[in-house]
Structure 1
Amino acid sequence: MHTELMQNAKKFVAFWFLYAVLIWLILFVASALGDQVISLKFHVLVLLSMFLSGATTLALDLQQQRRDAHMAIFIDKLRDLHTDNTRAGHILMRPDDSLAPLAEAINDVQRLNRDRIKLLQQQGSTLAALMTNMPLGALRITPERTIIQMNAQAQDMLAVDRDALGRDYSDVIKHHRLISLLEQALKMETQVRELVKFDNRMLDVSLVYYETRERHHELLVLLYDMTEVTQMQDMQSAFVANASHELRTPLTAIAGFTETLLAGAKDDPAALDEFLHIIQSETSRLLALTEDILALAKSPERLSKVAPVNVANIATEIFEANKTAADTLGLQLQNEISPSFTVNQDESVVRQILTNLIVNAIKYNRPGGLVKVAAMVTASEFVMAVKDTGLGISSEEQSRIFERFYRIDKSRNQAIPGTGLGLAIVQDLVSKSQGTIELDSQVGVGSTITVNLPLQ
Structure 2
Amino acid sequence: MVFFELALVFLSSFLLFLFSLMTWALTHYLSSPIQKIINVIRPYHLGEINDLSKISLKAEDFDGDFGQLAKTLELLSHKVQEQMKSLEVEKKKRETILDSLVEGVVSIGANKKIHYANLAAGSMLDRAPLDLENTFLSEVNEPDCEKLFLQAQECGNIVTEELRLRNKPGSFIKAIMVPMSQSKEVVMILQDYTDYYKTIEMKKDFIANASHELKTPITIIRGYSETLRDHDSLPREIVEEVTEKIVSTSNRMNRLIQDLLVLSDSESIANYNLSRENLLSLVNNCIRDVKIVYPDAEFSVEDAEGIFEVNVDRELFKLAVMNLLKNGVRYSESPAQVRVNLKKNARNIELRVSDQGRGIPKEAQEHVFDRFYTVDKSHSRKVGGSGLGLSITRTIVEKHRGNIQVESEVGKGTTFTITLTESK
TM-score scaled to structure 2, two decimals? 0.70
Q: Which residue of 1 aligns with 2:130?
A: 162
Q: Write the distance in 1 (CA, Å) between the matches of 2:322 and 2:375.
A: 19
Q: Is contact 2:308–2:349 with CA below 8 Å preserved after alignment?
A: no
Equivalent residue of 1:396, what SS?
A: helix
Identity of aligned residues (%): 25
**Correspondent of 1:323 among 266, 291, 297:** 291
Q: Write the distance in 1 (CA, Å) between the matches of 2:145 and 2:179.
A: 19
- 1:216 CA displacement: 2.6
Equivalent residue of 1:244, what SS?
A: helix
Q: Is contact 2:317–2:397 with CA below 8 Å preserved after alignment?
A: no
Q: Deviations over 1:182-219 (max 9, x none)?
A: 3444345452423222414523242424344xx33321
Residues 402 and 280 (structure 1), Cα distance of their counterparts in 2 relative to 1, 3 Å cut = same
**Correspondent of 1:407 among 369, 374, 379:** 374
- 1:419 CA displacement: 0.6
Q: Which residue of 2 aligns with 1:230?
A: 197
**Correspondent of 1:208 among 174, 177, 181:** 177
Point out where structure 2 has 5 or more consecutive residues left out of the alignment.
1-72
**Correspondent of 1:379 among 346, 355, 358:** 346
Higher deviation after alignment, 132-141 or 259-268: 259-268
Q: Write the distance in 1 (CA, Å) between the matches of 2:235 and 2:298.
A: 42
Q: Which residue of 2 aligns with 1:31?
A: none
Q: Write the distance in 1 (CA, Å) between the matches of 2:119 and 2:311.
A: 40
Q: Deviations over 1:254-304 (max 9, x none)?
A: 333334434454985333322332222112211211122122212464553
Q: Is contact 2:121–2:129 with CA below 8 Å preserved after alignment?
A: no
Q: Write the distance in 2 (CA, Å) between the matches of 1:301 and 1:207.
A: 34
Q: Is contact 1:441–1:447 with CA below 8 Å preserved after alignment?
A: yes
Q: Which residue of 2 aligns with 1:35?
A: none
Q: Is contact 1:313–1:339 with CA below 8 Å preserved after alignment?
A: no
Aligned residues: 343
Amino acid at match of 2:146: I
Greater radius of gyration (CA): 1
Residues 278 and 247 (structure 1), Cα distance of their counterparts in 2 relative to 1, 3 Å cut = same
Q: Write the distance in 2 (CA, Å) between the matches of 1:308 and 1:85.
A: 59
Q: Write the distance in 1 (CA, Å) between the matches of 2:344 and 2:177.
A: 55
Q: Write the distance in 1 (CA, Å) between the matches of 2:337 and 2:331.
A: 11
Q: Which residue of 2 aligns with 1:394?
A: 361
Alignment of 1:125-204 (within 5 A): 131-158=98-125, 159-162=127-130, 164-171=132-139, 173-187=140-154, 189-190=156-157, 191-198=159-166, 199-200=168-169, 202-204=171-173
- 1:235 CA displacement: 1.2
- 1:232 CA displacement: 1.7
Q: Write the distance in 1 (CA, Å) between the matches of 2:187 and 2:401.
A: 38
Q: Write the distance in 2 (CA, Å) between the matches of 1:220 and 1:203.
A: 19
Q: Which residue of 2 aligns with 1:425?
A: 392
- 1:442 CA displacement: 1.4
Q: Is contact 1:434–1:453 with CA below 8 Å preserved after alignment?
A: yes
Amino acid at match of 1:331: A
Q: Is contact 1:356–1:423 with CA below 8 Å preserved after alignment?
A: yes
- 1:237 CA displacement: 0.9
Q: Write the distance in 2 (CA, Å) between the matches of 1:288 and 1:340.
A: 37
Q: Which residue of 2 aligns with 1:38?
A: none
Q: Write the distance in 2 (CA, Å) between the matches of 1:266 and 1:186.
A: 81
Q: Write the distance in 1 (CA, Å) between the matches of 2:307 and 2:244.
A: 42
Amino acid at match of 1:322: V
Q: Deviations over 1:316-340 (max 9, x none)?
A: 443343336534xx43222447598
Residues 282 and 439 (structure 1), Cα distance of their counterparts in 2 relative to 1, 3 Å cut = same
Q: Is contact 2:331–2:358 with CA below 8 Å preserved after alignment?
A: yes
Residues 342 and 192 (structure 1), Cα distance of their counterparts in 2 relative to 1, 3 Å cut = closer
Alignment of 1:100-139 (within 5 A): 131-139=98-106
Alignment of 1:201-280 (within 5 A): 202-212=171-181, 215-263=182-230, 265=232, 269-280=236-247
Amino acid at match of 1:428: T
Q: Is contact 1:239–1:404 with CA below 8 Å preserved after alignment?
A: yes
Q: Deviations over 1:15-51 (max 9, x none)?
A: xxxxxxxxxxxxxxxxxxxxxxxxxxxxxxxxxxxxx
RMSD: 3.6
Q: Write the distance in 2 (CA, Å) between the matches of 1:163 and 1:319.
A: 59
Q: Write the distance in 2 (CA, Å) between the matches of 1:129 and 1:145.
A: 24
Q: Write the distance in 2 (CA, Å) between the matches of 1:271 and 1:302.
A: 50
Q: Write the distance in 2 (CA, Å) between the matches of 1:368 and 1:377.
A: 30
Point out where structure 1 has 5 or more consecutive residues left out of the alignment.
1-75, 87-117
Amino acid at match of 2:254: L
Q: Deviations over 1:114-170 (max 9, x none)?
A: xxxx9x999989965652322110112122222233212112222134154344333
Q: Which residue of 1 aligns with 2:315?
A: 348
Residues 312 and 287 (structure 1), Cα distance of their counterparts in 2 relative to 1, 3 Å cut = farther
